[in-house]
Every structure is written in structure tokens, then in C-alpha cells.
Structure 1
Amino acid sequence: MPRRGPTLPPQNLERFNTAPADEAHRTLLTCLHSPSWAHRVTAHRPYPDLPALLAAADEAAYDLGPADLARALAHESLPALPEGTYSAAHTALSAAHAAYESRFGHVFVICLDDIPADEVLDRVLAAIRSRLANDPEEERQVAAEELRRLARGRLVRATRGRHAGAANPSVPL
């Protein structure tokens, strides 16, 4: 059986397709804080289905220039740890984040969609440690890919009427 991509109730996609451009743009900014990305995705409406919307969002994310990437990274927050994480883990993670930000000049971003809560801390620490070995250009590419993945997951949640970003509620579609 062929694997199907994410689905979405037709009325949600219709609402996104017909929303005023400024409303769609604001919603998209909760997924990825890049005005050029949000403008491009908004401008190409209507989308026939969610996979087409996600493909357009991916394509726009792949085309982010250095300034767009820097702006998007500046609006990201650190990944949240699961509730009940012990203080030593917070200390280790804070030190790792500080080292990362010192080396690369921006917050560490990672997409944790579909990662079980009990694996989040290990994944984040392992990823930071691994990515600290990257040169700045390589890390820029990795961070851009993580931003693309974050935006994709947030866009799916926003079009389903759920909270899009870690710190920003989505504008209802």
C-alpha cells in the first residue's frame, strides 16, 4: 500500500487558501519567521492539497538566503525539555547551548517532531555535541534544514488548527 503524506480536512485548506493575504502571512510567520518565505508561500495560493502546500513551503525554505536564515534563526527559541527533567540535565544543556551560540552566533535549532519525550534530552545533547564539530558553513546548512523541518511541522499543525510555534500561537485558519 502506498504511503500517504499528511492529510488535512478540506475546509482547513480552503480556509488557508481563501484567508486574506495578511492573515495567511501572519500564520506562516508563526511557522518560520522569514517574511520572504511567508510571502512566497502566501503568493502561490491556492494549493490543491496539503502535500502541495508542504512542497511549496519546502521549496521556499530551500531558497532562504543568508539574511533570511539569520532572521529566522533570531526568532527561534531553544527546544523545550520534557517536564520533570532533572536539574543536572538543564545545566548540561545550558552549557551546550552556550557553547553552540558562542561558536555559531545563533540559537541551536532542531526539529524534534515524532521524538518520544523520554528521548528528547539525549537527542538534543547528542545533536549539539555533534554539530559543534561543524564548520560555520556546514552548520548554516544543517540549521537551515532543521528550520525547514520545523516550519513544515508547524505548518501542518497550523493548518489543522493547532498551535504552530513553540512561542507563538497560530492565527486560526
Structure 2
Amino acid sequence: MTLSELNALSEEQATEVFRQCCASGHWVECMVAARPFANIESLLIASDAVWSHCQKSDYLEAFDAHPKIGDINSLKEKYANTQTLAGLEQSRVNEANEQTLQALAEGNKQYENRFGYIFIVCATGKTAGEMLALLEQRLGNEPADEVSIAASEQHKITRIRLCKMLKNASLPKEGMIL
């Protein structure tokens, strides 16, 4: 899809497209209303601004649309609407050995029990071992700190998905503030 095509979508169509990038209803509604976008930078600026005003309930709604790290079956079954954009995000988990996969599964259970939502990490480019190390590290966080970290990870995922959604769009370099 091009930016022009995104701008021309009906509200209903744009809602579905944006929901594939982030499942927070508030974020989606604001992004649909923010159109038209002049360029990818203005799209990402709008996304950043909307996400910065989201509340914990918005974060949790977005988190709920993710499969657990390493749970490829839930990606295929429960999250079919985001499969196209999300499918390769966890692709390096497929390279993990059984011990690492079991540790991820156990860590996911511990994380969900501790924080009340699944472990959210921007998995793009990370190995299963790297994600496991992050999961284990973050298990020690205070709940208020962790929800902020998870929200930041969700926003990284959203930005990547926005860029994947648009033809010829490239994500600005990490740390670049628009």
C-alpha cells in the first residue's frame, strides 16, 4: 500500500489497516482521524504523539493482540488479522533449541502471572536466546516500570509495522526522534 492509498481509504478500511499495526482502539481511532499524511515522517510523528497520550488500558488492549513469544500457533490461529505484518517478527524463534523454547514458555507464564499481561518485546532481529534474556531481566522490574517498558516495545513494533505496511517506506534509524 502506498501513502496515497492509505490516505484515500474509507474510515472503516483505514481502521482495519491501522488495527493490524496496533490494536489499541484509541490509537487506531486517532490515526484514522489524523489522515491525510503528507509523508511517512508525518505518519510516524502522528503515531508517536497519539501513543504518548495513551493510557495503561490502551497499552493493555494493544498487548492483548500479540501472541506469546515463541507461540507461533497462537499467531496463526488467534491473530490472523495481524499475521501478514507480524509473521516474521518472531521468525528467529524457529531457530531455538527445545530447552530455550521451554524456558521461554515458562518465563512467559511467570511474566503473565507477575504483570497480568504477556511479555511484549520488539522481537524483530532478536534470537530466542536474546528474548529469553530480556524476559528474565524484566521479570525483576516493578509493575509501573514494566508497563512503561512494554509500552515502549509496543510502540517500536507499531512503527515497524507502519513502515512495512507502506511500500518503499523505511523506518528512521533507532533513536531518531521525528
Q: 2:100 aligned with 1:110, yes or no? A: no
Q: 2:42 aligned with 1:31, yes or no? A: no
What displacement does 1:42 show?
Answer: 1.0
Counterpart residue number, 1:145 = 152
Q: Is the 8 A contact 2:6 2:14 kept in 1?
A: yes
CA offsets, 1:66-116, max 9 Å, x none? 211111111211233532421111111111111111100101011123x2x
Structure 1 residues 1-20: aligned runs within 5 Å: 12-20=2-10
Aligned-pair RMSD on alpha carbons?
Answer: 1.6
Counterpart residue number, 1:3 = none
Counterpart residue number, 1:85 = 96
Q: Any stretches of 5+ residues in structure 1 without a counterpart?
A: 1-10, 162-173
Q: Is the 8 A contact 2:22 2:158 kept in 1?
A: yes
Identity among equivalent pairs (%): 25
Counterpart residue number, 2:142 = 135
Q: TM-score, normalised by structure 1?
A: 0.80
Runs of 4+ with deviation above 6 angstroms: none
What displacement does 1:126 show?
Answer: 1.3
Instruction: Give 2:134's aligned amino acid.
Output: A
Greater relative CO, 1 or 2 (CA 8 Å, sep 6+):
1
Q: TM-score, normalised by structure 2?
A: 0.78
Structure 1 residues 32-111: aligned runs within 5 Å: 32-79=22-69, 80=90, 81-111=92-122
Q: How many residues align?
A: 147
